[in-house]
Chains A and B, each alone.
Chain A
Amino acid sequence: EVELVESGGGWVQPGGSLRLSCAASGFIFSDHYMDWVRQAPGKGLEWVGRTRDKANDYTTEYAASVKGRFTISRDDSKNSLYLQMNSLKTEDTAVYYCARAGFAGATTWGYFDLWGRGTLVTVSS
């Protein structure tokens, strides 16, 4: 079965750190760009960032709201994606989704064709 499963969410105090993981299965993980998208409680969707594939040197992109605090990485040998979150703020409270970038016509695009179920991160004192 093709799926993404996030883990690592929980409660953390402001200023703290947390590392999220996303386990992929059912497809060739190493072939795909991967993204993180978050959703604050009762709010809309916000793109967090992306990691490209090995052919593109695993380069990354980030939203301005998390740049310098969050780091996306991947381990293709483990079919896993990670989100290291440092200097957490109360406004980072959200469900964090792992998402696969769409791939069509031998090109990777910016839409997301596969999503995990999400993991909740709560930043509160």
Chain B
Amino acid sequence: DIQMTQSPSTLSAAVGDRVTITCRASQIISSWLAWYQQKPGKAPNLLIYKASSLESGVPSRFSGSGSGTEFTLTISSLQPDDFATYYCQQYNSYSFTFGQGTKLEIK
């Protein structure tokens, strides 16, 4: 299976900050990568697919980039609602696999 590694595991930031989360794949996955946001006790919510395509209804402060094996999720100006855990997921091949998650905390 393709291994997905996110960094950092935990990130402390303040409202208004620009933050970046990195996701690395153990092999080339082209642009077949998605990003999700999950809040405690809730289901994940799709933010980005195909590495950089913004899902409908997701605020434009979220953006994704990368291809091959290295990807980033950027939040341009953190809002209070953005403090959550973020997961990347590859869908280049079965079994689909997720990163271990990045918890974004309030500084």
Contact = CB atoms under 8 A, between A and B. Distances in A.
Contacts of B32: 109-110
Q: 10 shortest A-B CB distances, which residue pairs?
A: A110-B91, A111-B34, A115-B43, A47-B96, A45-B98, A111-B49, A63-B95, A44-B101, A61-B94, A44-B100
Contacts of B92: 110
B45 interface: yes
Contacts of B97: 47
B82 interface: no
The interface residues of chain B, by DSSP majority, are classed as loop
A63 B100 CA distance: 17
A64 to B, nearest CB: 7
A115 B44 contact: yes
For A46, A64, A109, A111, the residue with the greatest tally of chain B CB atoms inside 10 Å of its CB is A111
A9 interface: no
The interface residues of chain A, by DSSP majority, are classed as strand
A44 B91 contact: no
Nearest to A66: B95
Interface of A: 44-47, 50, 61-64, 97, 102, 104, 109-113, 115-118
A104 B43 contact: no
B74 to A, nearest CB: 19
A117 B43 contact: yes
B49 A46 contact: no
A86 to B, nearest CB: 19
For B42, B96, B101, the residue with the greatest tally of chain A CB atoms inside 10 Å of its CB is B96
Nearest to A115: B43
Given A109-B91, A110-B96, A45 B44 contact: yes
Given A64-B1, A111-B34, A102 B46 contact: yes
Contacts of A47: 89, 95-98
For A61, A104, A110, the residue with the greatest tally of chain B CB atoms inside 10 Å of its CB is A110
